[in-house]
Amino acid sequence: MRRFLDLQHLDDATIRRLLDLAHELQRSPIRDDLKGKVLGLLFMNPSLRTLASFQAGMAQLGGSSFVIQAGQGCWSLETRTGVTMDGAHPEHIREAIPVLSEYCDALGVRAFAGGTDLKADMDERFLNLLDEITPGPLINLESAANHPCQALAEWKALEDYEIREDAKFVLSWTWHPKALAHAVPAATATMAARRGMNLVICRPEGYDLPEAVMNRVHAAATQGGGTVNVTDDRDAAMAGAHVLYAKSWASPAHYGNPDADAQAKADLRDWCARESWFALAHKDARFFHCLPLRRNVEAADEILDGPRSAVTTIAGNRLHVQKAVLMEMLAHA
């Protein structure tokens, strides 16, 4: 495996092998399979879990890593194609990526959505450029419209909690002061559908996921045997639910216009996950979120500090599943 860019690029056998290996690595975390291997990490945007878990994972597998945070202690990088570079950025990604690849055995890159052009972000233009210019193994650390590391960690968490493949998985929009990207909800919804779950996307009017995302989700459901429904009826969505995943995302209608997005959701602050949302859910229903999370904005303290919360388990799984990805890529390279 030389690319980990999208779970949908992997067949069922590969996903199963990664999950089995992640469970094994959780039980026996310290190994030397990647002794002498180097992982390069390029962050165009901030990180906490992704950066720390990949560095820790390489160390636990006997390898090493280096981190480049573009524009912080190194040159800022131009990413546009065909641009005349007479502005702020002294180095182009087309040179930086091949150079960094000379120093490492695999490269991970994080680059968030631009947030101004929905089609460009949904088309994953920057990720596609990285795929083109990276000579060695490449890992998507979160792109404009995908976060496969997060989705695989969530898949493992579903297994950790012994949640059935055909269980009801509710992805609910929540209020947030910012217009957030679609990468996590897109990856999560696609993962749940691919796993064969009964996915319900609960959102207020005007906050459907983009058409490009929904097309991927429906394709994943067809592949995995899941179902997909969309509603604004929270009680109907939560009835019998085994998982509530709370996550905010920008309105496609107001993409690139944060003021219009803010106005559209001005009266939606009650879309903050609370224990009362679970009244009709399965008695052991779990609360999922990718983190970071704004307490009492996206979800109330009573959930995050209560027995339903799986957020720390999911975050911990980032370490295990990413080590499995690294092993799959590099152990026999």
Separation of alpha carbons 239 and 281, rounded Å: 5
Q: Would you mind telling me the total number of residues written for the chain in this entry? A: 333
Three-class DSSP category at 157: helix
Domains, the chain: 3-146+316-330 (3.40.50.1370), 162-309 (3.40.50.1370)
Phi-psi region of 167 (alpha: psi -120 to 50; beta: other; left: phi over 0): beta
In this prediction, residue 73 carries a pLDDT of 84
Cis peptide, bond prior to residue 292, ω within 30 of zero: yes
Three-class DSSP category at 269: coil
In this prediction, residue 333 carries a pLDDT of 76
Q: Count CA atoms within 13 Å of residue 181 on its CB side.
A: 22
Q: What is the mean pLDDT of each run of 10 residues along the chain (333 residues)?
A: 97 98 98 98 96 98 97 90 94 96 98 96 97 98 98 98 98 98 98 98 98 98 97 98 98 96 97 98 98 98 98 98 98 85
Among candidates 146, 203, 147, 194, which has minimal Cα distance to 173?
A: 203
Q: Count CA atoms within 13 Å of residue 257 on its CB side.
A: 9
Would you state the structure tokens that stand for residue 172, as one six-digit string? 């609910």
In this prediction, residue 162 carries a pLDDT of 98
Separation of alpha carbons 29 and 31, rounded Å: 6
Which residues, in sequence order, are CB contacts of 298 under 8 Å at separation 6+? 174, 175, 176, 246, 247, 248, 272, 273, 289
Among candidates 168, 154, 177, which has minimal Cα distance to 227?
A: 168
